Structure 1
């Protein structure tokens, strides 16, 4: 009993997050984030501005995690042992959408919740793929997000579209996978923002 107590005291004296990881049996992992594709305000030729609410994306349970997924085949799920995202995949995607769409002046406000009782338009998304795949064709990053823009007042669907990215990676090593994830994410986010601005801004052009 004394030996067990001494071991516990030794673990508790480990500085920082290492102590918690050791207690939970979890290894330390490098933490990664992804970037929005735009930096600074985008000026658009649109009349009137709408308030946009970005709802929390839906996903399967295997994606609702901070772990970085790899699929060696369509029926198997694995995760990188030495790395994780800064947040769960749905929360990270929601943050990226808010930051990306918030850079367009077509929208008076972009956020996770409306400023008042309800906003003008809601963006609803579902993440089907956000992972690396391996196979005879090499390693690739697949992303697929289904999106809908809904007018909140009348619960009317304004537009609906699926967005996909397929980006090659040189290997399954973390140093090669993360830049490929970033490239795929920026492609999908750029396409979603162009589509949303066009649908809500009625064909607005931006610079």
Structure 2
């Protein structure tokens, strides 16, 4: 091997290391998002009169935009975006299902309560489509919108006992992400209170 070839061979590892260092310096830094839970402001307290039937609350179905941990925002018209650097602590449908479960537990009248995580048999199932869970700009200020199409299903015969669309809008006290998250919590509480009351009333009115 000639001296030139030997020198080149010795320099090759150093050159490779320099190139690797240069490449790393231009790669974008990995995003470290802020993780937010769905906050609870206040849920109705326990009511008297426990019922004898059981209920399973299923995770609502949602399109891809909502079936994620991103915090969605519609800045204008039908344009869909997300809040950069922010994430929910779980997928949106799971967060909302858990908020509804919390509402039923706080109410206390349905003691035999479960979710689709365990797939336990229940007399009734609360099924739904989640078609909105985002902030929308209506003028200069954002408004949180939650739309939940509920179906109360009797497991025996899989009969739909009742169905209703719930839509909650909640003004946001500012434009910062924490303020938007707080409004989502208020909207989730309002929805839970409505769904709990409706479910119990529909079952009371049902003729088995």
TM-score tier (shorter): 0.7 to 0.9
Contact 1:127 1:144 in 2 (8 A): yes
Deviation at 1:54, TM superposition (A): 0.9
Query: Using a 3 Å threshold, how does the CA distance of structure 1 residues 162 and 57 change in structure 2: closer, same or farther?
Result: same
Query: Matches of 1:24 and 1:128 in 2, distance apart?
Result: 34
Q: Any gaps of 5 or more consecutive residues in structure 2?
A: 1-15
User: Higher helix fraction: Structure 1 or Structure 2?
Assistant: 2
Deviation at 1:24, TM superposition (A): 9.5
Contact 1:149 1:196 in 2 (8 A): yes
* Cα deviation code 1:131-171 (max 9, x no counterpart): 01113252111111110110001211122111111111133
Residues 1:91 and 2:94 are matched in the alignment: yes
TM superposition score normalised by structure 2: 0.78
Query: Matches of 1:67 and 1:115 in 2, distance apart?
Result: 25
Q: How many aligned residue pairs are there? A: 189
* Cα deviation code 1:21-41 (max 9, x no counterpart): xx996411111112454376x
Q: Any gaps of 5 or more consecutive residues in structure 1?
A: 11-22
What does residue 195 of structure 2 align with?
192
Query: Matches of 1:111 and 1:25 in 2, distance apart?
Result: 42
Query: Using a 3 Å threshold, how does the CA distance of structure 1 residues 4 and 141 change in structure 2: closer, same or farther?
Result: farther
What does residue 38 of structure 1 align with?
43
What does residue 65 of structure 1 align with?
68
TM superposition score normalised by structure 1: 0.78
CA RMSD of aligned residues (A): 2.9
Query: Matches of 1:117 and 1:78 in 2, distance apart?
Result: 37
Query: Using a 3 Å threshold, how does the CA distance of structure 1 residues 139 and 3 change in structure 2: closer, same or farther?
Result: same
Query: Matches of 2:194 and 2:22 in 1, distance apart?
Result: 53
Query: Matches of 1:130 and 1:44 in 2, distance apart?
Result: 32
Query: Matches of 2:189 and 2:94 in 1, distance apart?
Result: 16
Query: Matches of 2:22 and 2:205 in 1, distance apart?
Result: 65
Larger Rg: 2
Residues 1:118 and 2:152 are matched in the alignment: no
